[in-house]
Amino acid sequence: MPNPFTQPPVLYPTHYVWLVFASALDIMFTWIVLHFGGWEVNGVAQRVLERYGLPGIVLFKFAMVTLVIVLCESIGRINNPAGRRLATAAIILTFLPVTLAALQLLLHG
């Protein structure tokens, strides 16, 4: 069993920086798209947005980031490559709506 005192504090710090960055961009682009008359595609996020506004959506999205990091750490400590793949997939999936929103703004702006 690995010694918890000799392991790094987190397994994939660079991945997590990218994940937080992508999530921040997602919030910013969502707000810009909404400002120009668009809508939130994620149904759960849309309900949070309707009920709690911008503070609620920020809290919701970063709660999701926290959940993903906890999952990556939990899985990664059992199976390091699987945790790394999950972290990578989370980054890609988070950048997808950011990319689509940027394209939407470029095409309709």
Domain count, the chain: 1
Question: What does the angle CA 96 – CA 98 – CA 102 come to, to the nearest 5 degrees?
Answer: 120
Q: Structural domain of residue 68, as residue ranges?
A: 23-108
Is the confidence at residue 74, as pLDDT, over 80?
yes
Long-range contacts of 98-101 (CB under 8 A, 24+ apart): 98/22, 98/25, 98/26, 98/29, 101/26, 101/29, 101/30, 101/32, 101/33, 101/38
Q: What is the mean pLDDT of residues 85-106?
A: 95
Does some domain include residue 94? yes
Q: Which of 70, 61, 50 is nearest to 25 (CA)?
A: 61
Classify residue 14: in a domain, yes or no.
no
What pTM did the predictor assign?
0.88
pLDDT band at 109 (very low <50, low <70, confident <90, very high): low
55 occurs within a structural domain: yes
79 within domain boundaries: yes
Highest mean pLDDT among 1-5, 53-57, 80-84 belongs to 80-84
